[in-house]
Amino acid sequence: MFKKQLIILTVILVMLSGCSRIIFRPSEAKDDDLIELSYDAVDKLVMNLKQPLPRGSLVVINSLINIGDLGQSLAFGRIVSEQLSSAFQSNGYLVMGMELPTEMFVKNEVGILQLSEKTKEALKNVGAKVLVIGSYAPGRNNIYVSLRIVDIESQTVIATTDYPVTMGPDIKAMATPVQPPSQN
């Protein structure tokens, strides 16, 4: 009798261990609500302003860049920039999106990046008060986003926020470079 129970128990354990890969397999991460995160980020930026930025001011928003390749802006960076534009517009600001090249910055004598005079002048000519810049760094499970509002006149950062975005299947697709088709 004991032998029969031991055999049945062993068979059940073997069956369960075979199914454990199916039953206990970790599920793929779900995407965060990117729109909600973008709107929350703008709310934080506006709340944390170190100097006044009256409603109706012109805000220039540049596409977020991949910190690993400063010349690259993937779909993730472009869509977040568009969502930031919508959120600033909803908060009562005038918005202008720009695809500013990374050459808009120059290094000063101590090696710190700052707006080039040409870029600064162009932004002033359109009446922009601030420039929203940002970068992102894809990790294994998250993308880490960093946003800054820069006062164009003084070139100082007047607000900042950082946040992670869970990398589910949609976000992962937007943050992956598109490979050009191979030509044989």
Q: Where are the domains of the chain?
A: 28-174
Q: What percent of the chain has pLDDT over 90?
A: 42
Q: Quick one: pLDDT at residue 141? A: 92
What's the CATH code, domain 28-174?
3.40.50.10610
**pLDDT in the model for residue 110:** 65
Q: What is the Cα–Cα distance from 72 to 154, expressed in whole angstroms? A: 27
Q: What is the mean pLDDT of residues 160-178?
A: 89
pLDDT at position 157 is: 94
Range name among 26-40, 82-96, 103-117, 136-150 with the lowest pLDDT average? 103-117
Tell whether the model's pLDDT for residue 98 goes beyond 90.
no
- The one-letter amino acid code at 22 reads I
Angle between helix 75-90 and 34-47 (nearest 10): 50
Distance between CA atoms of residues 132 and 112, nearest Å = 18
Q: Is the pLDDT of residue 175 over 90?
A: no
pTM for this model (two decimals): 0.76
**Confidence bin at 6 (pLDDT 50/70/90):** low
Using a pLDDT cut of 70, give the percent of the chain over it: 71
Asked whether the beta carbons of 94 and 59 are under 8 A apart, the reply is yes
Greater pLDDT, 77 or 20: 77
User: Is pLDDT larger for residue 8 or for residue 141?
Assistant: 141
Q: Identify the pLDDT of residue 62.
A: 87
User: Which token pair is 21?
Assistant: 């890969």
| pLDDT confidence tier of residue 132, bands split at 50, 70 and 90 | very high
DSSP string, the chain: -HHHHHHHHHHHHHHHHHHHHHHSPPPPPPPP-HHHHHHHHHHHHHHT-SS---TT-EEEEEPPEETTBTT---HHHHHHHHHHHHHHHHTT-EEEEE---GGGEEE-TTS-EEE-HHHHHHHHHTTEEEEEEEEEEE-SSEEEEEEEEEETTT--EEEEEEEEEE--HHHHHHTSPPPPPP--
pLDDT in tens, 9-50: 666 666 666 555 555 445 577 888 999 999 999 999 999 999
Using CA atoms of 63, 64, 67, 72 in order, give the dihedral in degrees to the nearest 10: -40
What pLDDT is recorded for position 86? 96
> 73 φ, ψ to 5°?
-130, 110
